[in-house]
Amino acid sequence: MREVIIMLKTLLYGPAANFPSFLLIVALVWSLIWKGLALWKSARNNQRYWFVALLIVNTVGLLEIVYLAFFQKKVKK
């Protein structure tokens, strides 16, 4: 059974198969949170090019953080 699990991890994760599973889960959750927030903001601000770029490019949250910090439209009060 252990060999089957190792084989499935290798097929699913490729080179990341040797990483501890909890680190992969943490990276996935981190990325999903930032991606969701950035996609929401870009859609609400009608920034279509940013939305497509954020949707396609996966940078584990880095591009999303840069967008949220510097490139989103600021709300005027």
Enclosing domain of residue 48: 21-77
- Give the pTM: 0.72
- Does the pLDDT at position 15 exceed 70? no
Q: Mean pLDDT over residues 18-25, rounded?
A: 75
Within-domain flag for 67: yes
- Give pLDDT, residue 17: 62
Q: Report pLDDT for 56.
A: 94
pLDDT higher than threshold 80 for residue 49:
yes
pLDDT at 47 over 90: yes
Whether pLDDT at 20 is above 90: no
Structure tokens, 66: 């840069």
In a domain, 31, yes or no: yes
The predicted pLDDT at position 8 comes to 73
Residues 35, 40, 41: CA angle, nearest 5 degrees:
100
Question: Domain tally for the chain?
Answer: 1
